[in-house]
Amino acid sequence: MAEIRTLNDGIFNDEISGETPILVDFWAEWCGPCRVIAPVLEEIAEEHDGFNIGKLDVDHNPQTAAAHDVMSIPTLILFKDGVEKKRIVGAAPKHRLMQELAEYI
C-alpha cells in the first residue's frame, strides 16, 4: 500500500528527490475536479506500493506550484529522483491514470 503524504513548500524538494517515484497531486479545497480525483488516488494508493502519493494544496503552497508551472488543477506530476517524468492535467478516470503511469510504477 502506497502512503499518501501531505506536502508543503518546506519539504517538497526532499520528498520528490528519492529513488521511489512519487505522484504529486496539486489541488485546492475549492476545486470540484480535485475532490472527484481524491478517492481515485486513495484507491490507487491501496492497490500499489511501488511508489508514493503526495498532495500539495496550491493555495497554501503557491511557491512550489509556481516553480513547477502548475497552471490548472488538478495537476498530477510523477517525480523520480527529483525529475518530472509524467504530467497529467485534469481529473481522469482510474484506468486512464494507470495507463499513463504504468511505465513508472
The single-letter code of the amino acid at 36 is V
Tens-place pLDDT, residues 41-94: 999 999 988 899 999 999 999 999 999 999 999 999 999 999 999 999 999 999
| Other residues' Cβ atoms within 10 Å of the Cβ of residue 46 | 11
Report the C-alpha gap between 83 and 21 in whole angstroms: 10
**Marked catalytic residue, from 2, 23, 31, 37:** 31
Is residue 31 annotated as a catalytic residue, yes or no? yes
The b-or-e profile of 24-39 (16+ CB within 10 A means b, else e) is bbbbeeebeebeebbe
Q: What is the pLDDT of residues 2-55, one digit of tens each?
A: 779 999 999 999 999 989 999 999 999 999 999 999 999 999 999 988 899 999
- Give the three cell numbers for residue 60: 497554501
Q: Does 52 participate in catalysis according to the annotation?
A: no
Domains detected in the chain: 4-101 (3.40.30.10)
